[in-house]
Structure 1
């Protein structure tokens, strides 16, 4: 693309922030009028057909936004920029403007999205770390949503190799609060993306929009653990709609948190058991996915689990797969003594099985 003038860049931001202008109408207006400046001048004339709400966003508000982006150490990335994520650009609903911190060139490398439950089992967290770390070593960039649980584990394991975090808030907002350090690491060592204007708090309606970006960045989406109604399954559905691979790790039918993955596999997602399975599938990806998963049902009501602040209890971290007590302490964030007391209570209640090597599991 030709280098945008400051006036046209400002006009593009203002156009997108105008009432009733979304990604699709933004592109239509640019095509019709040739520039954002011309489109803004035409908006009042469109009011008769589009309603009184068709009016440009106030210049002062956009000037304040630009300053906020600069204060956050971020920059704007426009849809026709050379370093706009190439796979994301293929989506008709791709964000026309992103705010970014970090190395935008990461998005041009082979990418896999890893998503899953927030209130996940410790065994699933271990799997997420293993898959993300090994795939990063193979040269894949790991994209996820910086949420608790699976997302956070995937980002942490992939920091050295390259990771992209997509947040549902403004670029200057940290959520969840305990991921402040991780979000800063992703921004400084990898790439942090936001669609919402700076200062925007994470609201329920923003998470599905974030999920479409995660799915759009990658050739394939891997779901590690997910309940039947969860944001991770929305990401899988959006990946399928975009013509990308959908992969899932199977789990025990006795664990509700595995039901979402098992359901995906039953409906055509590719079952994967190791990072090599993912690498083989995506290395051969030519735009025609091997997975036959196509979710024709309406999307489920989004459960806003991302906005819950209470930590998961010890019992919720257990599955029938044995896991080290040290892993439970690390995942729960609780003192070791508190974890041991909780495990003792579960054992006395007949809900815990102890295994060799200091590992424990939920009683089947």
Structure 2
């Protein structure tokens, strides 16, 4: 099994982005003392690498922003800025700032500890493997409503999914980090004819969270949970779960080929909003793949209310890309929004192929230290 730079793998090539990530990562790790590095460095096969769940947890893996000095925090933000587009980076900053809004709103309910629980410093940085030339490694930035997972393979290929951004509340003052994609989706829904809308709307109830949940690798069929973790007051039935289920081989909703030209363009633009969370070097290739696969392979479905301020959900399902947007909790005021890749979330297939090749040929980092013909 070998990796070829044609067809499916060329869309993951991002050498410039990888180079910026690598150099910034070195600077950050060099700045850390031993205790900090032990907090944030893990092996590639550490089981925590595939846990990208973005809810608040007391046992997060990695070093928190709160445990870094001012210079180190600047380097973390330089790493984020190098690994996201300006659009994506600004969304991340807004989501982190939302924790301050949430703290103030929840203090009466949760009391004094709210300041520790809802805290923009409670985002965790973790590195997996050895960040080095021609090496395979990964890193993650994770906390409430932000889950960014990067896998770098041989300093050549880069995967950036699952890519999750959320917002609670959906907007506050001038902060509305996910308003654009929500507005785009509502505009597309409003543009549909009655027949198209009947195809698109798959259920009158929105799921509490993603239909595919937070599994590391998407199965052929996935069902949403009855409720979102920690939010038992919004619950769906078994009948709802059946109507909302994800099936890789049987996409729900209206097919892109049944849309008008303007509607089809709007659907692709909505997909692009998600892909352009990432640097242009990668986003352009990913979007070109979606366009190359065509509207015949792109489906748009909707569930729940059809107006803002109601619980609602949409899903875009393609040959390689999956997008889910859920805004069900608090009457459409608590968003979860993510982009996934069926075969290469967390580098799945690319890693398997890379390790297979290494077994056959050896790794350059090893072979460059061995004599070609030893002198006995």
Does 1 or 2 have the higher relative contact order (CA < 8 Å, sep 6+)?
2
- Whether TM exceeds 0.5 here: the answer is no
More strand by share: 2
TM-score, normalised via structure 1 length: 0.21
